Amino acid sequence: MSLGALFSGCRRIENIDKQKPVIALSIPGAFPRNCDTLYFGEPFDFIALFTDNVELGSLRAYSIDIHHNFDHHSHSTEQLSACSFDAAKQAKNAFLMIQDFSLASGLKEIRVQESVFIPSGNALGLFDEGDYHFFVSLTDKEGWSAKKGLSIKMMHRPKKP
C-alpha cells in the first residue's frame, strides 16, 4: 500500500476529459421516443438534446441506425418496460438505414433537429412493417461514446378511403 502512496506523489496533475457525452431522448418535443411509430414514405424529424462536459465531437459525431427486430434481438437501452411486440417473424424486405451526421465544432450542448426521409420501398417492393430498432450513438471530441437504443414500430400509413 505504501508503494501506491510513494508513486501517487509523483503522479502528474491530470487535465483530461473523463466524462461521456449525454444523449437525452426525453426532453420536451424529443422524437422518436420508445414505442413510437415511424411511417414509410415520409420524413420525420429526429429531435434530441446532446450535451458534453468539454466538447462534443464534430465530423460524423453521431449516427442513427434503424434495423429490424423481427427476431426480437432488441438492444432497447432506453426503457425498461418493453413495448408490445408483434409476433416474431422472418424478414422479407426489411428496412435498413445507417447514417452518420456531423455537428458544428466547439459545441458543448445542442438540440439537434434533423429531418430524415424514409423511403417506402426498394426494387424488391415495399419494406416490411413491424418491430424495428432505432439506435443512436454519439461521441465527444475525446472519443467517449454514448449509446441509446429505442424499440419502435415502422408502418405504412393506411391509405385514406
Partner 1 sequence: MLFVSVSMFCAFLPAQALYRLSGRVLNSDAQALAGAVIALPSEGRYAGSDAQGLFSIDGLAKGVYPLQISLFGYAPLLDTLRIEGDLSYEARLSVLALSLQEVVVTDHYDELRKKKESLSIETLNADYLRQHRSGSLMKTLDRLPGVSSIDIGAGLSKPVIRGLAFNRVAVVENNIKHEAQEWGADHGLEIDQYAVDRVEVIKGPASLMYGSDAIGGVVDMKSESPPQDKTLGGSLELSAKSNNDFIGAFAALYARKNSFFANLRASLLNYGDYKVPTDSVDIYSYRAPLHERRLRNTAGKEHNLHLSFGVMGELFQSRFYVSSTNARAGFFANAHGLEPRNVDTRLHDASNRDIQDPRQNVSHLKLINTSHYRLGSMKFESNLGFQRNFRQEWSPYVSHGYMPALFPDSLSFPADLERQFDKTVVSGSLKFFYDDAEKLSIRLGLSGDYQKNRIDGRGFIIPAYRQVGFGTYGFAKYSLSENSLIQVGLRYDFSRIATRAYQDWFPSPVNTDGLTELRYLQRAQAIDRSFSNLSWSLGYNLNRERWSFKGNAGKSFRVPIAKELAANGVNYHHFSYEVGDAALSPEISYQLDGGVDYASKNLAIGLSPFLNYFSNYIYLNPTAEHDRQYGNGNQVYRYEQSRVLRYGGEMHAHYQLFKHLQLGIIAEYVYSEQLSGAKKGFTLPFSPPLSAIFNVKYRRAELACFEQFYFTLDLRMTAAQTLVVPPEEPTAAYQVVDVGLGGNLNWMKQKISFMLQLQNLFDKKYFNHTSYYRLINVPEPGRNLVLSISLPFAGKMK
User: Which chain residues interact with partner 1 by CB under 8 A?
Assistant: 1, 3-4, 7, 11-12, 14-16, 18, 20, 57-65, 67-69, 71-78, 80, 90-94, 96, 98-100, 135, 137, 139-145, 147-149
Closest approach of partner 1 to the CB of residue 41, in Å: 18
Closest approach of partner 1 to the CB of residue 147, in Å: 6
Q: Among residues 7 and 158, whose Cβ is nearest to partner 1?
A: 7
Closest approach of partner 1 to the CB of residue 55, in Å: 9
Closest approach of partner 1 to the CB of residue 17, in Å: 9
And the C-alpha cell for 91?
424478414
Q: Among residues 14 and 104, whose Cβ is nearest to partner 1?
A: 14
Q: Among residues 5 and 161, whose Cβ is nearest to partner 1?
A: 5
Write a three-state SS string for the chain. CHHHHHHHCCCCCCCCCCCCCEEECCCCCCECCCCCEEEECEEEEEEEEEECCCCECCCCCEEEEEEECCCCCCCCCCCCCCCCCCCCCCCCCCCCEEEEECCCCCCCEEEEEEEEEECCEECCEECCCEEEEEEEEEEECCCCEEEEEEEEEEEECCCCC
Q: Among residues 7 and 161, whose Cβ is nearest to partner 1?
A: 7
Q: Among residues 139 and 161, whose Cβ is nearest to partner 1?
A: 139
- Nearest CA to 110 among 46, 62, 50? 50
Closest approach of partner 1 to the CB of residue 159, in Å: 26
